[in-house]
Chain A
Amino acid sequence: MNFVAPDVNYYSMLPFITVLLTAVFATILPFYVSRKAIAGLSAVGLLVALAASIGLWNTNLSSFYGAYRSDNFALGFGIVLIVGALIAVISSVDVAKRGGTMQAEFFAILLYAVSGTMLLASAHDLIVLLIGFEVMSLGVYVLSSFQETAKSEEAGMKYFLLGGFASAILIFGIALVFGATGKFGLEAINTAVLSPEFKNSSIAAVGALFILIGFGFKVAMAPFHQWTPDVYTGAPTVVTQFMSVAVKAAAFAGFLHIFGLALQNVSGWQTPLQFLIALTLMIGNLAALRQSNLKRMLAYSSVAHAGYVGLAVLASPSQGFSSALYYLGIYTLMNAGAFAVLNVLSKDDDGLEIESLAGLGSSKPLLAATLTFFLLSLAGIPPLGGFIGKYLIFSAAASSGYYGLVILAALTSAVSLAYYLRPIGLMYFRPRVTVLPDFSGRSTRVLLVVCAAGVLILGLVPNAVYGLLELVKK
Chain B
Amino acid sequence: MIHLIIFIPLLFALIGLFLRGQARASISIFAALASFALTAVVWIAKIDTVYRTPWIPGAGIFYSVTFDGPSLLLALVATLMTSITLIYFSNRKDSQQAEGMYPLALAMLTGLLGIFAARDLILFYVFFEATLVPSLFMLGLYGRKNRVRALTKMALYTIFGGLLMLVSIIATKLYSNSPSFDFLELFGRTSQLDLETQTWLFLGFVAAFAVKLPLFPLHNWLPDFHAENHSSGVADVMGTLYKVGGYGLFRFALPLFPAAAQNLQWVFMFLAAFTALYGAWIAFSSKDFKRLLAYAGLSHMGLVALGMFSLNPIGMAGALFLLAFQGVYSSALFLIVGMLEERLNKDVQNEKTTSQALEIGHVRGLAASAPAFAGVALVLWFASIGVPGLAGFIGEFSVFLGAYQANPWATALAVSTVIASAAFALTAYQRTWLEETTTTIPELNARDWFVLVPILAVTVFFGVFSGSALKLLEPSVQAVAGLLGGK
Interface residues, chain A, CB within 8 Å of chain B? 322, 376, 381-383, 387-388, 391-392, 394-395, 398-399, 403, 406-407, 410-411, 413-414, 417-418, 421, 425, 428-429, 462-463, 466-467, 469-470
Q: How far is the CA of A381 from the CA of B166 in the complex (A)?
A: 12
* Min CB–CB distance A330 → chain B (angstroms): 14
Q: Which of B122, B133, B143, B164 contacts A381 (CB 8 A)?
A: B133
Q: Pick 7 A–B contacts, CB within 8 A, sort by A.
A: A382-B125, A394-B167, A411-B160, A411-B164, A428-B137, A466-B58, A470-B58
Whether the pair A381, B59 counts as a contact (CB closer than 8 A) is: no
B54 located at the interface, meaning its Cβ lies under 8 Å from any Cβ of chain A in the complex: yes
A394 to B173 alpha-carbon distance, docked (Å): 13
**Given known A-B contacts A381-B130, A391-B122, A463 and B155 have beta carbons under 8 A apart:** no
Is chain A's binding surface mostly helix, strand, loop or mixed?
helix
Q: How far is the CA of A462 from the CA of B54 in the complex (A)?
A: 11
Q: Is the CB of A466 within 8 A of B59?
A: yes
Binding site for A on B (CB under 8 A): 54-59, 122, 125-127, 129-130, 132-133, 136-137, 140-141, 143, 147-148, 151-152, 155-156, 159-160, 162-164, 166-167, 170-171, 174
Partner of B151, one of A395, A403, A425: A425
A463 to B56, CA, bound (A): 5
Min CB distance A218 to B, Å, is 28
Contact in complex: A463, B167 (CB < 8 Å) = no
Q: A394 touches which one: B148, B152, B166 (CB < 8 A)?
A: B166
CB proximity of B139 to chain A, nearest CB, Å: 9
Once the chains are docked, how many angstroms separate the CA of A470 from the CA of B56? 11
By Cβ-Cβ distance, the 6 closest A-B pairs, closest first, are A410-B163, A382-B126, A429-B140, A414-B159, A414-B160, A395-B170
**In the complex the two chains form, what is the Cα distance from A67 to B163 in whole Å?**
41
Q: Are B58 and A394 in contact (CB-based, < 8 A)?
A: no
- Contact: B57 with A463, CB < 8 Å? yes
Interchain CB contact under 8 A, A403 and B129: no
Is B59 a contact partner of A467 (Cβ separation < 8 A)? no
A289 CA to B48 CA, complexed, in Å = 49
The docked-state distance in angstroms from the alpha carbon of A392 to that of B130 is: 18
CA distance A383 to B56 in the complex (A): 13
Q: Nearest chain B CB to A102's CB is how many angstroms away?
A: 36
User: Complex Cα distance A398/B151, Å?
Assistant: 31
User: In the complex, what residues of B have CB within 8 A of residue A421's CB?
Assistant: 136, 151-152, 155
* A463-B58 contact, Cβ under 8 Å, with A382-B125, A398-B171, A428-B141: yes
Q: State how many angstroms separate the Cβ of B111 from the closest Cβ of chain A.
A: 10
Q: Find chain B residues with CB under 8 A from A429 CB.
A: 140-141, 143, 147-148, 151
Q: Does A467 lie within 8 Å of B171, measured CB to CB?
A: no
Are A376 and B148 neighbours in the complex by a CB distance under 8 Å? no
Q: A425 vs B141: C-alpha distance in the bound complex, in angstroms?
A: 9
Q: Which A residues touch B141, using CB under 8 A?
A: 428-429
B55 near A417 with CB under 8 A, answer: no
Contacts of B122 in A (CB 8 A): 391
Distance from A106 Cβ to chain B, minimum over Cβ atoms (Å): 38
Known: A383-B126, A463-B55. A413 touches B133 (CB 8 A): no
Using A403-B167, A466-B59 as known contacts, say yes or no to A428 and B156 having CB atoms under 8 A apart.
Answer: no
State how many angstroms separate the Cβ of B75 from the closest Cβ of chain A: 20
Report the bound CA distance from A382 to B56 in whole Å: 14
Interface centre among A376, A403, A421 (most CB of B within 10 A): A421
B163 close to A414 (CB less than 8 A):
yes
Cβ A391 vs Cβ B170 within 8 A: yes
Q: Are B160 and A387 in contact (CB under 8 A)?
A: no
List the B residue with the shortest CB-CB distance to A415.
B156
Known pairs A463-B57, A470-B58; A391 contacts B166 (CB<8 A): yes
CB-CB < 8 A to A395: which residues of B? 59, 170, 174
With both beta carbons as reference points, the residue of chain A lying nearest to B126 in the complex is identified as A382
Nearest A residue to B129 via CB reads A382
Q: Which residues of A contact B174 (CB under 8 A)?
A: 395, 398-399
Decide yes or no: A467 and B163 within 8 Å by CB, A395-B170, A428-B141 being known contacts: no
Residue of A nearest to B157 (CB): A414
Closest to A388 in B: B56
Measured between beta carbons, the chain B residues less than 8 angstroms from A470 are 58
Taking the nearest CB of chain A, how far is it from the CB of B121, in angstroms?
11
> CA of A96 to CA of B59 in the docked complex: distance in angstroms?
45
Docked Cα-Cα span, A139 to B238, in Å, equals 53
Distance between Cα atoms of A391 and B240 in the complex (Å): 29
Bound-state Cα–Cα, A403 to B172, Å: 12
Who on chain B is nearest to A416 by CB?
A: B159
Shortest CB-to-CB span from A71 to chain B, Å, is 18
Q: Complex Cα distance A388/B166, Å?
A: 12
Closest chain B CB from A120 CB (angstroms): 26
